[in-house]
Structure 1
Amino acid sequence: MGGLSPLFAPDRVAVVGATERPGSVGRALVENLADFDGEVVPVNPNYETVCGLPARDRVGDTDADLAVVAVPASAVLDVVREAGEAGIRHVVVISAGFGEAGGEGAARERDLIALADEYDLNVVGPNSLGVIGTPVGLNATFAPRAAPAGSISFLSQSGAFVTAVLDWAADHGVGFKDVVSLGNKAVLDEADFVASWGDDEGTDVIVGYLESVEDGRRFVEVAREVTPETPVVVVKSGRTEAGAQAASSHTGAMAGQDRAAAAGFREAGVVRVDTVQELFDAARVLAGQPVPETDGVAVVTNAGGPGVMATDAVGDAPLSLAEFGNHTLERLRDRLPEGANVYNPVDVIGDADNERLCAAVDAVLDDDAVGSAVVIAAPTATLDYGDLAADVADLQARHGVPVTTCLMGGERARSAEDALDAAGIPNYFDPARAVGSLGILSRYREIRERERAEPTTYDVDREAARDVLERAGERGATRLGVEAMPLLDAYGIPTPAGEVVDSPVDALAVAERIGDPVVMKIVSPDILHKSDIGGVKVGVAHEDVYDAFEDLVTRARNYQPDATILGVQVQEMVETESGVETIAGTNRDPQFGPLVLFGLGGVFVEVMEDTALRLAPLAESEARAMLDEIQAAPLLSGARGRDPVDEPAVTEALARLSQLVTDFPAILELDVNPLVARPDGVQAVDLRLTLDPDTL
């Protein structure tokens, strides 16, 4: 695909399907282009003019560089082909009736993709609201309201959401550079626009509403390059468990589609928010304010209650209250009356005028411990909000420290917002939102400063691992258990001594070789939760091995008569008293590819759901960060007088597991549960995996 700038800044736009009919999409498109700096060419063989503009019969006669197509779905392919033959490389398909409409529509969408490939077309849609480029007055949409100009570029998978946002933005001082309604994303998707806007000097922030990510890996690769210079903020819907319902492993159930997206966004450096309000709070502060150098926040207020609310909000954000230096405290004491609080939060008390409040703001912004500040004011007879807004804007520009304000009230506050908007300072009625916006700045600083390490690779026996998987595939197995433990051995993940046997005599021989006592487990791809049916025996002495074998097989047969029984695993008994049972797992997401999960393991893993998730393959530094991320991290580091576990060994096991699942796409899901972490290393005690033999 070529550059996308002509989509938003064309010289000539052809509107195919333009019409005079009131209330039609074709008419709305032409009317919305009234302020376009370039030329608009309506295309409709049934009209000589549309809205006073000379019409053409065919798109091929327009010499346009952007075609906006609003014709019946059955006619779209002919129009797009003609546009391609005429050298028009940028097409927006407004028409619906494609992939969203079922069988015939899906086939039509596949044909559209083929045309785009044949003629090297940049196609937005189909089923799109259109595109907007404010610098040239382009509004190639059928939205009822134009976009205010600004430096935010906005993509949305929902056209209705675009119309709502444009209506809201006009009343809230939010301006846009470019806007695109993605529609069905048949050709161009979110990654294409993030890449384009990342190179666009007029775009300060990229924001988006997404319901899905078409190619998660590509999106991560693109966004990873963009986000250090241009912030990307996304709100994504679909935060349900539905995507995990078909998963057969603990990891698959706990990863789910939404958690996979969250892991992908984190890897990409994308700031993910939960609500539309947060989306545009983030966009405004990232577009208007510098990135803070520290997490320390100063709160300056003339009202104690809102100051306390802001202080509470600091605790909820990735921020801390700044501790002022002695010089700052002395300046505050000199400028504030007795009864004022010079410590953070600074309370200049209710009778403060502009000069007193701004003197406090000036002092705290000059303190090296202050990375950002919130200025809170309740309306009083001694304050002029207009002057205060101008003064705060001047102080922010002079110190270069990010500031948000909370000028509380109605009309008085709104009248001051023009000065604040011009300075890029967001104003909120709610102190928590003002603090939350500063938290977004802090999160983005971490993204910019994050050093991405290359995935760690190890010397492994890939052929031995392949042999395990291919032998399973040959017998048609799709689910493997402890019989696949040699897979872990091949990748250097420690496992207890053990062997799968198919007779009690062989079981006794293995037990004698391992030493007394042993653990015995039924081995069946059809029985996933062995402990639930009594399919595991722990601490079996040699003299009991024969009977234990017979009992395990009998229990399995009684539980599921048609189950495939591969035998019984006789395994070295692992000492767990000094260790912590964890889970290490992998899952292959359709969009984001292989994922690695780590958390508290054992039989309660799905109850606790205390896990961290990352994209594979992992660098050891990322694997190490996963250990600190779970709530049970103190158990690993030695809580309540216990010895800390061997965290480097756990880290290495996670990284090796990520290499395994990256090397073998046939592994769809894999659980090592428990992975026992002890002070002297780790051992993978149990294994369960799902295999796709067709990809071996």
Structure 2
Amino acid sequence: MKSIQMASDRAYDIFREEHHPLDVIFAPKTIAVIGASERENSVGRTVLWNLISNSFGGTVFPVNPKHHSILGIQTYPNIATVPEAVDLAIIATPSVTVPSVIAECVDVGVKGAIILSAGFKETGIQGAFLEQQVLEQVRRSKMRLIGPNCLGIINTHTGLNATFASSMALPGKVGFISQSGALCTAILDWSFRENVGFSSFISIGSMLDVGWGDLIYYLSEDPNTESILIYMESIGDARSFLSAAREVALTKPIILIKAGRTEAAAKAATSHTGALVGSDAVFDAALRRCGVLRVNSISDLFDMAEVLAKQPRPKGSKLTIITNAGGPGVLATDALITNGGELAELSKQTYDALNQILPTHGNHSNPIDLLGDADPNRYIQAVEIAAKDPNSDGLLVILTPQAMTNPTQTARLLKPYAKIGKPILASWMGDADVQAGAEILNQASIPTFLFPDTAARVFNYMWRYSYNLRSLYETPILIGCENTDTSVCSRVVAETIIQKARQAGRTLLTEVESKQVLAAYDIPTVETYIATTPQQTVELAEKIGYPVVIKIFSENITHKKDVGGVHLNLQNAEAVKNAYYQIQEINTQNFLGVTVQPMVDLKNSYELILGSSIDLQFGPVLLFGSGGQLVEIFQDTALGLPPLNTTLARLLMEQTHIYKALKGVRGRKPINIEALEQILVQFSQLVVEQPWIKEIDINPLLAKSEINLTKKETIQNSLVALDARIVLHDLNTSETQLPKLAIRPYPTQYVSPWTMKNGMSVTIRPIRPEDEPLMIQFHKTLSEESVYFRYFHLIKLTQRIAHERLTRICFIDYDREMVLVADYKNPKTQQHEILAVGRLSKIHGSNTAEFAMLVSDRFQYQGLGTELLKRLLQIGRDENLTGIGASILLENRGMQRICEKLGFLKYNSDDNSVVKVEINL
């Protein structure tokens, strides 16, 4: 019997702890209110009253040494005297007492805490010191802590109101997290007026322990939460936030509003990139990378939660507008186009069909004007026709109350179109006359807005949200060198150049050194030579061929043109000599010679910029866009986070205006977009692998249409770096002080060859997003028995290889999980095949993980399962996990033997069909 498949889907539920660590905060059985008080309007009294006046199904213990009872409840002098084990301690004492209070809680085994008290790092150095004292105590245990300086939390579905807000939130399906307690109270008041409900209402405070990532994961597993709304002031642990958001955004919308949109210009930037990168623009780029939607107002926050819960996401940005009044249609059009949306161009079939039903004087194009006498039937006929148009990604139906309109009946007839496969929005304008119709539409899951421009703005948010999620679903194309040794060699070449400059006391690479670093990563550069005498300069110019460019060669000049250090289009030897002497004369102190390179014809070419700079929160950031001398003036650039693959590279380019021109415009042929994608990917790899680089510019990166290349030019010359500048971190920066990447890059340290028992050589490596086609072929090699052992039930092949499913398996976050594959290159076909897959997934809220294994039937009993599991155990140790486990079907004896051989302990499970295995690391 085949026996080396192991299931993880049910294993996750069985192996993980019975309760999530944050359950003690959101669903506690016993609560101690430390700092409870009888004083009117005090925090301690308010939170105690909120707890006892809303039944959460548990027991409350007031703690205050000055009282025997508060609100008629027996009170205890300290946490140690409370007669029961306490799940949650809510602390409302002066900040100076909090460290000792937390220490007492840790000593008696309290599992969770909420610190409502203010007076911590928001007050200065002394407050920050108090926070560190608190954190030291928390780290002595497994306690989880929310705050300090927060309002508390509400769980409407358990009846828990652990806040000092004046009221309990209404129940609903929205999980709301806010960094501002004051905003929480304002939104609570607003929610009663607007009848908005919440599953959880969380004031996160200073995020001393529990942060965005923890809460996003927790709400993702909460069946009562359908969407997650966030008010953010600072991101805290950027990697944790991005990791959690990227995983959860695939299943639950995450909608965010952030304070502080004003762009903070980079200070002391020595490169173009540094000058162009602003913190808020980087934040937007990070949200795009993880599929989070950012909005601009509180109303937008809740509008989008409602719309995404009721309607499907549009596939594109083209909207069809149907209205009975021209003015509102124009307003909606303005709002749509101003914010990046488009009017759908109606097909001829749609246009002809509309001609059959609309009055002669109506507008039969988009926006479709039904005129003021439109009755319900005309509305519905128009909707029926427009909904079928393949050019349209969504519909907006606008109604203004006029003499011939019937808002209520029109709404009734519109109800069946709530699910047409594309989003449909409505704007029923007016007050009492349209209220009944608007309510009918809202109950039918057709979101309704008072003003049409609001509806158009919401549609723009919707398609942008879909656009953000594309990067999480699309399969990139594998590019670059498959030879790991060659890749390592390139990295070493670049490292050597950088370290040589550092050892010489320099933080600025010369142009030649910068181009050598680029060349090490297969980024084409224009041939560049160094000359130290006028005669040598002429000889090199004649070798290259006129015209040429002469630039100053210096170790400390950043912008050469600013100091007269660049001479272009030199046609002969005399011009070259004169240029040499002029540069030397102007820059006597910094002059080491000149560089000589060919003068590249810019005709039918595009000047681009490709760069990287450091953001304080997100680390290295990539920049792409229009380049040249006026790059800061035009500012047609887009930002992204490394590492990139081909899909992410293309999405980055699509953010710019120049991208449309690169695809071909006004008779010009397109450039080689695929080659440009490859350069962006290689450039991001350079940034990832060379952390000593602080700033890097390629400006210009010249892009030519391939049709315009001369016979001497090759495809590589269609994209070439004409100039490059690399700035290193300060010499006194230690390796531990180097900025960390916000997104963990591909873990090359886990790539290595291995030989199976039958002598076949494979490469065991982490999975890549580009592996989706290989995974499809892999699943075709599996027997029903292998599938059953892996998933605990049979799953059809079509389901196992569905794009949405495989994308999530291949496009993983290496911070959250690690998937190893056995990659075999077939010598006959020269094609790669995946022979086995091993997965290690961290369990949310704990420092443990569960593993899963799947080996192709043809290659079982060759030691692959054992080797993969050995490597997963080592990865667990490298990641400082405390334990790894899984559940295995009882009849899967082979997998059980592998686990026993590697030191796993076996336990019986409540499910008689499985056994549980665990190992402490």
Q: TM-score, normalised by structure 1?
A: 0.89
Aligned twin of 2:476: 453
Listed as ranges, the matches of 1:84-103 within 5 Å are 84-103=106-125
Question: How far apart, in 2, do the equivalents of 1:642 and 1:356 lie?
Answer: 46
Question: How far apart, in 1, do the equivalents of 2:21 and 2:545 lie?
Answer: 68
Question: How far apart, in 1, do the equivalents of 2:306 and 2:70 lie?
Answer: 39
Do the aligned residues in 2 keep the contact of 1:324 with 1:343 (CA within 8 Å)?
A: no
Question: How far apart, in 2, do the equivalents of 1:19 and 1:457 lie?
Answer: 66
Q: Measured at CA, do residues 3 and 247 of structure 1 come closer, stay the same or move farther in structure 2, by a change above 3 Å? A: farther
Listed as ranges, the matches of 1:39-438 within 5 Å are 39=58, 40-60=60-80, 61=82, 63-292=85-314, 297-316=319-338, 318=341, 320-321=343-344, 323=346, 345=367, 347=369, 349-350=371-372, 357=379, 372-379=394-401, 392=414, 394-396=415-417, 402-413=423-434, 419-438=440-459
1:118 is paired with a residue whose SS is: coil
- State the AA in 2 paired with 1:50: I
Q: Measured at CA, do residues 577 and 297 of structure 1 come closer, stay the same or move farther in structure 2, by a change above 3 Å? A: closer
Higher mean displacement: 293-302 or 662-671: 293-302
Alignment partner of 2:552 out of 522, 525, 529: 522
Asked if 1:649 corresponds to 2:670, the answer is no
Do the aligned residues in 2 keep the contact of 1:294 with 1:369 (CA within 8 Å)?
A: no
1:171 is paired with a residue whose SS is: helix
Aligned twin of 2:685: 659
Question: How far apart, in 1, do the equivalents of 2:413 and 2:192 lie?
Answer: 26
- State the AA in 1 paired with 2:491: R
1:212 is paired with a residue whose SS is: coil
Asked if 1:476 corresponds to 2:509, the answer is no
- State the AA in 1 paired with 2:523: I
Do the aligned residues in 2 keep the contact of 1:99 with 1:106 (CA within 8 Å)?
A: yes
Aligned twin of 1:19: 37
- State the AA in 1 paired with 2:327: G
Cα RMSD after superposing both structures: 3.3
Question: How far apart, in 1, do the equivalents of 2:352 and 2:674 lie?
Answer: 45
Higher mean displacement: 291-300 or 516-525: 291-300
Deviations 1:308-354 (Å, cap 9, x if unpaired)? 433444445545447489699869967x8887777655555545566
CA shift for structure 1 position 616: 1.1
Do the aligned residues in 2 keep the contact of 1:150 with 1:174 (CA within 8 Å)?
A: yes
Q: Measured at CA, do residues 239 and 38 of structure 1 come closer, stay the same or move farther in structure 2, by a change above 3 Å? A: same
1:379 is paired with a residue whose SS is: coil
Asked if 1:577 corresponds to 2:603, the answer is yes
Do the aligned residues in 2 keep the contact of 1:311 with 1:321 (CA within 8 Å)?
A: no
Do the aligned residues in 1 keep the contact of 2:147 with 2:206 (CA within 8 Å)?
A: yes
Deviations 1:432-455 (Å, cap 9, x if unpaired)? 112332333333344455315388
- State the AA in 2 paired with 1:42: P
Higher mean displacement: 202-211 or 373-382: 373-382
Q: Measured at CA, do residues 57 and 504 of structure 1 come closer, stay the same or move farther in structure 2, by a change above 3 Å? A: farther
Do the aligned residues in 2 keep the contact of 1:319 with 1:442 (CA within 8 Å)?
A: no
CA shift for structure 1 position 30: 1.9
CA shift for structure 1 position 208: 1.0
Question: How far apart, in 2, do the equivalents of 1:635 and 1:520 lie?
Answer: 30
Deviations 1:228-254 (Å, cap 9, x if unpaired)? 111111122222232523432111221
Deviations 1:578-626 (Å, cap 9, x if unpaired)? 4222111112323223222111111111111111222111112332344
Q: Measured at CA, do residues 242 and 455 of structure 1 come closer, stay the same or move farther in structure 2, by a change above 3 Å? A: farther
CA shift for structure 1 position 504: 4.8
Alignment partner of 1:28 out of 46, 64, 71: 46
Alignment partner of 1:38 out of 57, 61, 75: 57
Question: How far apart, in 2, do the equivalents of 1:455 and 1:64 lie?
Answer: 54
Deviations 1:71-122 (Å, cap 9, x if unpaired)? 1111111222222233322211111222222212112222323333321222
CA shift for structure 1 position 370: 6.2
Asked if 1:686 corresponds to 2:709, the answer is no
Do the aligned residues in 1 keep the contact of 2:351 with 2:365 (CA within 8 Å)?
A: no
Higher relative contact order (CA 8 A, sep 6+): 2
Higher mean displacement: 653-662 or 145-154: 145-154
Q: Measured at CA, do residues 322 and 193 of structure 1 come closer, stay the same or move farther in structure 2, by a change above 3 Å? A: farther
Q: How high is the sequence identity, in percent, across the aligned residues?
A: 37
Question: How far apart, in 1, do the equivalents of 2:233 and 2:477 lie?
Answer: 30
Q: Where does the alignment leave 5 or more consecutive residues of structure 1 unmatched?
A: none
Alignment partner of 2:567 out of 537, 545, 557: 537
Higher mean displacement: 72-81 or 294-303: 294-303
Question: How far apart, in 1, do the equivalents of 2:543 and 2:138 lie?
Answer: 66
Q: Measured at CA, do residues 136 and 604 of structure 1 come closer, stay the same or move farther in structure 2, by a change above 3 Å? A: same
Alignment partner of 2:582 out of 546, 551, 558: 551
Deviations 1:639-690 (Å, cap 9, x if unpaired)? 4444543433333222211111100111111001111222342222222222
CA shift for structure 1 position 467: 0.8
Asked if 1:7 corresponds to 2:36, the answer is no
CA shift for structure 1 position 272: 1.5
Asked if 1:617 corresponds to 2:647, the answer is no
1:230 is paired with a residue whose SS is: coil
Question: How far apart, in 2, do the equivalents of 1:172 and 1:20 lie?
Answer: 33
Q: Measured at CA, do residues 462 and 28 of structure 1 come closer, stay the same or move farther in structure 2, by a change above 3 Å? A: same
Q: Where does the alignment leave 5 or more consecutive residues of structure 2 unmatched?
A: 1-16, 707-716, 736-921
